[in-house]
Structure formats: structure tokens, C-alpha cells
Structure 1
Amino acid sequence: MTTDRERKRLAEVQGQVVAALVAGGEVPAGFDPERMRVQASSLIAKRRAIVARIRPDAAAAAGADLNAEFAAYARSRPTPPPGYRADADDFAAWLRDRGRMPDPPPPERRWWSRWRAPS
């Protein structure tokens, strides 16, 4: 049977593992630092590939520097945003803030958007 104290300690270590993998935190005692580094790099590569599929404009704006730009973006976030769409939009904004991506064009006004139903 697991005690409350053991559960609390396990939760602390799990938090440290997550921080080491996604936020560049310290590797907890008992874990292989090299394996943790490889796994963290793998997670960033997975995020980068998904973000590039969701926002090809951001990937194109980063160009040949996509790997380095996304790694720097990921390191700048202690916690990834909730969901890949938010991650992709945040990365695009991050590139825009650095002058790597133009501002988005204003939304087009459609002919039907001016019509209003009678009150």
C-alpha cells in the first residue's frame, strides 16, 4: 500500500522529470542526464514537426533556421501552451516579434458580412 508521503514524493519527482523534459529543468537524481537530453530533444522535434504542419507559414518564415528557432522558442517557455494550435500560433507570434515573420493581413470583409437581419 502506498502512503500519502510516498505519493507526494512520487509527484515531486514526476514534476522534476517533466520540467527536465520540457522546460530545461534539472535532471532528477537517479536519471541518466544523456537519455533525458535525448528525450527532451525528441519531444521538441515532435512539437516542431506538428507546428510546421499546422502553420507552414511560420515554418517558411523560419526557413533553414527552423530547428534552431523552434528550439530557442521552446526553451523560452517554461510550459508549452495547451494544444498544438496554440503552440503553432505562439511560435508564429514569437517569430513575428523577432522580425522573422510579417504581420498577418487584416481579415477580408465578405459581402455577406455587411448584411444584418432585421430587428
Structure 2
Amino acid sequence: MARDPRQPPDRIAVRGLRARGHHGVFDHERRDGQEFVVDVVLGVDTGEAARTDDLAHTVHYGLLSSRLVEVVEGEPVNLIETLADRLAAVCLAEPQVLEAEVTVHKPQAPVPHEFDDVTVTIQRRRP
């Protein structure tokens, strides 16, 4: 049975994915790096995977997680907005992913006050 396009897609989430990156606008951020935490929530039609019990019909979240870590550990950017957009592109490159919500946490952001976390959340969909 095909998914009813009027219904929202199913969700697959990876939360709390950690990697060290060198993103930020300040020299010390680029030089020293810091931990970033990534959450992704993917909109996916899981119907075929459920029917066939076959990994080929869904998102292999282990491999996707490795690709996301490569981006965080890769080429530095100034803004976590840019990082989030790059991560969303990786998610949408998966053929089964219809939409992606990506949150990038920067818990050691250079904020001169006591705080718990700084995050940026973006949502992207296939055209």
C-alpha cells in the first residue's frame, strides 16, 4: 500500500550525535575547535521497509550518522546556520528522505554569560 500524500511522513530521528568541529567566527574557535551536537529528524515513508523488513527500503541511520560527523569534522564555517544547512543537504541526499529537521547545538559557544546551550534548527524539504 502506497503512502497517502495527504498524511505526514513517518519520522526517523538521530539525537545527540557528537563530533568535534572548528566552526565559528573567532580565531580561537577555528584554532581549538569544540564539541557540536546534532539532532536530525527525518520525514520518511517507512511503509515499504515495514512490509519487506529490508534495510534497503529505509534510511541506514548508522551510515547517515557517519556522513553527518564527516561534515561537522570537515571544512569550518563561520555560522552554525551554515553548518545546519550542509547537514540538511546530506540528509536530503538519502533517496528515502522527504524532509529533514536539523538542530545544531553549540554548548561551548562564546557567550559571556552562564547558559546551557545555543542551537539553530532548520527544516528543509525536497522540492
TM-score (norm 2): 0.30
Which of the two has greater strand per residue?
Answer: 2
Which has more radius of gyration? 1
Larger relative helix fraction = 1
Bigger RCO of structures 1 and 2 (CA < 8 A, at least 6 apart): 2
